[in-house]
Amino acid sequence: MNQVATVADWAPHLDVGLLTRLISFARSAFVMTIVDNPIVWALGFRGTNEKDDVEGPFYILGAPQRQIEDGKAVMASAEYLEKYGSFLFVFEIKDEKGEPIPNAVLDWWQADTEGGYYFASWTLRGKVITDANGRVEVLSVRPGDYGSQLLGRRAGHIHLIVSGVKGKHRALTTQAYVCPGNKSEHMKQDIANYARKTRPGNMMTCYSIPAAHGGEKYWELPELPAGDTETAKRVEWWNAKLKERGINRQVIAVGQHGLNLSSL
């Protein structure tokens, strides 16, 4: 049974069973060879949704729920939020007509800020369900770049498989990129885009909150506009929760992104 995170127990440490890992690795080998194959994309079997992206090799089946309230979830433990800083991600899920999709499920996995993925535990992995407005707010850490100059590097990103209404919406596999200074040019250096056209629309729009980062902008990101009171209220809500948890760092940045699911 999947464990549900609560305010009193944010993103609890949970181990991934060996059998689950083995099955997931076998599945990923198939996905990388067939589904994510550039030829499949070139023939038009993938990429019909403008936000479509490759799944990659690091997905693990059966991620736990991370919901703490309606449309709100925490992916990172208190330790990671203290270490790397809290990054608030806001996603809006809509249909092709622009109508919000309530109860859509986001299956989420990402690297930590140093570019490390975790396979023996559910660290920085989990599921969250959209609220009545098709929105989710997820408290996590910035996904870091990873790879090497020799084998190629990947720009920091969040992996998502988004499922809407069964029998009505086509599930979307995508990646949401977090680029320094919101510069999509950073994505062109990504090895995953060498064989496919870069999709700048998959870059999140992010803002820093200098007041929570020693008066300096975080990751070269522009400061959250003073007129964006709605986002400021969200940040204030999360800062109060961080304080309740005894976490001494406030939200240092916010990322916003919209996704539209295609109809079947």
13 belongs to a structural domain? no
**Residue 151 φ/ψ, nearest 5 degrees:** -95, -10
5 belongs to a structural domain? no
Burial 194-226 (b: 16+ CB within 10 A, else e): eebebbeebbbebbbbeebbeeebbbebeebee
1 belongs to a structural domain? no
CATH code: domain of residue 72 = 2.60.130.10
Q: What secondary structure letter does DSSP report for 261?
A: P
9 belongs to a structural domain? no
Q: What is the pLDDT of residues 204-238, one digit of tens each?
A: 999 999 999 999 999 999 999 999 999 999 999 99
237 belongs to a structural domain? yes
SS (H, E, C) 10-67: CCCCCECCHHHHHHHHHHHHHHHHHHCCHHHHHCCCCCCCCCCCCCCCCCCCCCCECE
Residue 82 clears pLDDT 90, i.e. is over it: yes
231 belongs to a structural domain? yes
200-204, long-range: CB < 8 A, 24+ apart: 201/50, 201/51, 202/51, 202/53, 202/157, 202/174, 202/175, 202/176, 202/177, 203/176, 203/177, 203/178, 203/179, 204/89, 204/176, 204/177, 204/178, 204/255, 204/256, 204/257
**How far apart are alpha carbons 215 and 113 in whole angstroms?**
21
**How far apart are alpha carbons 222 and 220 in whole angstroms?**
7
Query: Is this model's pTM higher than 0.85 or not?
Result: yes
Q: What is the pLDDT of residues 87-143, one digit of tens each?
A: 999 999 999 999 999 999 999 999 999 999 999 999 999 999 999 999 999 999 999
177 is in which domain, residue-wise?
18-260
Q: What is the pLDDT of residues 145-194, one digit of tens each?
A: 999 878 789 999 999 999 999 999 999 999 999 999 999 999 988 998 88
Rg (CA), the chain: 18
Structure tokens at 250: 């406030």
**How far apart are alpha carbons 198 and 185 in whole angstroms?**
9
32 belongs to a structural domain? yes
Beta partners for 255?
Answer: 89, 206
Q: How many domains does the chain have?
A: 1
229 belongs to a structural domain? yes
